[in-house]
Amino acid sequence: MTGFVSFVSSGPGDPELLTLKAVDRLGRADAVLFDDLSSGPILAHAREGADLIGVGKRAGRPSPKQDHVSRLLVDYAKIDQRVVRLKSGDSGIFGRLEEEITALRAEGIPYEIIPGVTSASAAAAAAGIPLTRRLTARRVQFVTGHDVTGALPEGLDLAALADPGATTVVYMGKRTFAALVARLVAKGLPADTPALYAESVSTENQRLTRSTVTDLAAELMTSNSKLPGLILYGPLADGDA
């Protein structure tokens, strides 16, 4: 068997943020299984004639089941295809990478992981801020805002997430941020902690909103936007700290 799978990180959406290795693998792939956020201009780098299969998952919309996606990877590799699994952001951050790796390992299929720009880094760059600063924001933490049911995950380390000396990034948290903020304020996070909401970062639809955690929580409760969004909060989020 000569089939091989490359897990390619596509970054947050801007094709200019692809790595050279990502572009190379796209240009040589026989099949590309792509997330919704990896579609559009990024797919222009795929080889002409390659099979392009959308397998993205979006909250509140019909989406392929994970076992179906894993099965497709295995099936293509077993017929000696060079497969790119194109994942948005960095494939190792909240991208369900491990389930797909497990399926490949079970079948003895070789693979590689190509890292990329995660949306947290892209959002901070777009806002003109760092994610860390000596003495002020000495730690960065990433957390997912929902579990498999769409609810706020149980068992969150609220003390860590309420740390005023950390920059915290909440992925997929628009629907649950208000509930999270209520718990964090109860744990001692100041209600006026700076927050940054980054929507469709690095694309033509990009929108950045600076606020506080409590004001942003209230705004998101009434938002009907379907565009992907990311939340940063902490001492650097207002851009002036």
Residues taking part in catalysis:
35, 57, 172
User: How many C-beta atoms surround the C-beta of residue 2 within 10 A?
Assistant: 9
Cα atoms found within 13 Å of the Cα of residue 13, Cβ hemisphere only: 19
Report yes or no: 33 and 84 within 8 Å, Cβ to Cβ. yes
* CA pair distance 92, 74, nearest whole angstrom: 19
Burial readout 134-165 (b: 16 or more C-beta within 10 A, e: otherwise): eeebeebeebebbeeeeebeeeeeeeebbbee
CA distances from 65 to 58, 61, 70 (A): 11, 12, 9
